[in-house]
A and B are shown apart, each in its own frame.
Chain A
Amino acid sequence: MGAIRLEKVKKTFGTLDVIPGVDLDINDGEFVVFVGPSGCGKSTLLRLIAGLEDVTDGKILINGTDVANEAPAKRGLSMVFQSYALYPHMTVYNNIAFGLKMAGESKEVIEEKVQSAAKILNLTDYLERRPGALSGGQRQRVAIGRAIVRNPAAFLFDEPLSNLDAALRVNMRLEITGLHQELKTTMIYVTHDQVEAMTMADKIVVLQAGRVEQVGKPMELYNNPTNKFVAGFIGSPKMNFLGGELAKKYDCHEIGIRPEHFAISTEKGEIPATVKIAEHLGAETYLHVEADGLGPMTVRATGEIPLGEHDKIFLTPEQDRIHRFDAQGLALAKS
Chain B
Amino acid sequence: MESKQTPLGYVSFSVFAWIVGLLIFFPIFWMVLTSFKTELEAVSIPPSFISFDWTLENYAEVQQRSNYFKFAMNSVILAVGSTLVGLVFAVTCAWAMAFNPTKRTKDALLWMLSTKMMPPVGVLVPIYLVFRDWGLLDTRFGLIMVLFLMNLPIMVWMLYTYFKEIPTDILEAARMDGATLPKEIIFVLLPMAVPGIASTMLLNIILAWNEAFWTLNLTTSDAAPLTAFIASYSSPEGLFWAKLSAASTLAVAPILVIGWFSQKQLVRGLTFGAVK
List residues of chain A with CB under 8 Å of any chain B CB: 50-52, 71-73, 77-79, 81, 83, 85-89, 98-99, 102-103, 146, 150
The verdict on B106 contacting chain A, using a C-beta distance below 8 Å, is no
- Interface segment out of the listed B3-11, B167-175, B232-240, B259-267: B167-175
Contact between chains at B177 and A81 (CB < 8 Å): no
Task: Note all chain B residues with C-beta closer than 8 A to A81.
Answer: 169, 172-173
List residues of chain B with CB under 8 Å of any chain A CB: 167, 169-170, 172-180, 183, 187-188, 191-192
A79 CA / B171 CA spacing, docked (Å)? 12
A71 CA / B184 CA spacing, docked (Å)? 13
Task: Note all chain A residues with C-beta closer than 8 A to B175.
Answer: 51-52, 71-73
Task: Note all chain B residues with C-beta closer than 8 A to A98.
Answer: 174, 177, 179, 187
The chain B residue with its CB closest to the CB of A104 is B178
Contact between chains at A50 and B176 (CB < 8 Å): yes
Main secondary structure of the interface of A (DSSP, over half): loop
Task: Note all chain A residues with C-beta closer than 8 A to B174.
Answer: 87, 98
Q: List 15 A-B contacts (CB under 8 A).
A: A81-B169, A81-B172, A81-B173, A83-B169, A85-B167, A86-B170, A87-B173, A87-B188, A88-B170, A89-B192, A98-B174, A98-B187, A99-B177, A102-B177, A102-B183
A72 CA / B169 CA spacing, docked (Å)? 14
A79 CA / B178 CA spacing, docked (Å)? 12
The chain A residue with its CB closest to the CB of B190 is A89
Contact between chains at B176 and A79 (CB < 8 Å): yes
The chain B residue with its CB closest to the CB of A78 is B176
A71 CA / B180 CA spacing, docked (Å)? 9
Contact between chains at A102 and B178 (CB < 8 Å): yes
Task: Note all chain A residues with C-beta closer than 8 A to B167.
Answer: 83, 85
Contact between chains at A88 and B192 (CB < 8 Å): yes
Task: Note all chain A residues with C-beta closer than 8 A to B170.
Answer: 85-88
Contact A99-B178, Cβ < 8 Å, known A83-B167, A85-B167: yes
A285 CA / B187 CA spacing, docked (Å)? 54
A86 CA / B192 CA spacing, docked (Å)? 11
Task: Note all chain B residues with C-beta closer than 8 A to A89.
Answer: 191-192
A79 CA / B172 CA spacing, docked (Å)? 9
Task: Note all chain A residues with C-beta closer than 8 A to B169.
Answer: 81, 83, 85
Task: Note all chain A residues with C-beta closer than 8 A to B191.
Answer: 89
A37 CA / B61 CA spacing, docked (Å)? 79
Contact between chains at A73 and B188 (CB < 8 Å): no
Contact between chains at A150 and B192 (CB < 8 Å): no
Contact between chains at B188 and A52 (CB < 8 Å): no
Task: Note all chain A residues with C-beta closer than 8 A to B178.
Answer: 73, 99, 102-103, 150
Contact between chains at A102 and B179 (CB < 8 Å): yes
Least CB distance from B40 to A in Å reads: 59
A317 CA / B259 CA spacing, docked (Å)? 79
Most buried by A among B169, B173, B188, B191: B173
Given contacts A52-B176, A98-B177, list 12 more A-B pairs with CB under 8 A.
Answer: A52-B175, A72-B175, A72-B176, A73-B179, A73-B180, A79-B176, A81-B172, A85-B173, A89-B191, A98-B179, A99-B177, A102-B178
A120 CA / B93 CA spacing, docked (Å)? 42
A81 CA / B167 CA spacing, docked (Å)? 12
Least CB distance from A164 to B in Å reads: 17
Least CB distance from B177 to A in Å reads: 4
Contact A73-B177, Cβ < 8 Å, known A87-B188, A89-B191: yes
Least CB distance from B214 to A in Å reads: 37
Most buried by A among B174, B177, B180: B177
A85 CA / B175 CA spacing, docked (Å)? 12
Contact between chains at A73 and B192 (CB < 8 Å): no
A47 CA / B172 CA spacing, docked (Å)? 10
The chain B residue with its CB closest to the CB of A83 is B169
Least CB distance from A77 to B in Å reads: 7
A35 CA / B230 CA spacing, docked (Å)? 70
Least CB distance from A93 to B in Å reads: 14
The chain B residue with its CB closest to the CB of A97 is B177
A96 CA / B187 CA spacing, docked (Å)? 14
Least CB distance from B174 to A in Å reads: 7
A103 CA / B183 CA spacing, docked (Å)? 12
Task: Note all chain A residues with C-beta closer than 8 A to B177.
Answer: 73, 98-99, 102, 146, 150
A83 CA / B174 CA spacing, docked (Å)? 14
A50 CA / B175 CA spacing, docked (Å)? 10
The residue from A85, A99, A102 contacting B172, defined by CB atoms under 8 A apart: A85
Most buried by A among B172, B191, B192: B172
A98 CA / B167 CA spacing, docked (Å)? 18
Task: Note all chain B residues with C-beta closer than 8 A to A72.
Answer: 172, 175-176
Shortest Cβ-Cβ A-B pairs, 4 listed: A99-B177, A85-B169, A73-B178, A102-B178
The chain A residue with its CB closest to the CB of B175 is A72
Contact between chains at B179 and A79 (CB < 8 Å): no
Task: Note all chain A residues with C-beta closer than 8 A to B187.
Answer: 98
Least CB distance from A2 to B in Å reads: 15
Least CB distance from B101 to A in Å reads: 13
A150 CA / B174 CA spacing, docked (Å)? 13
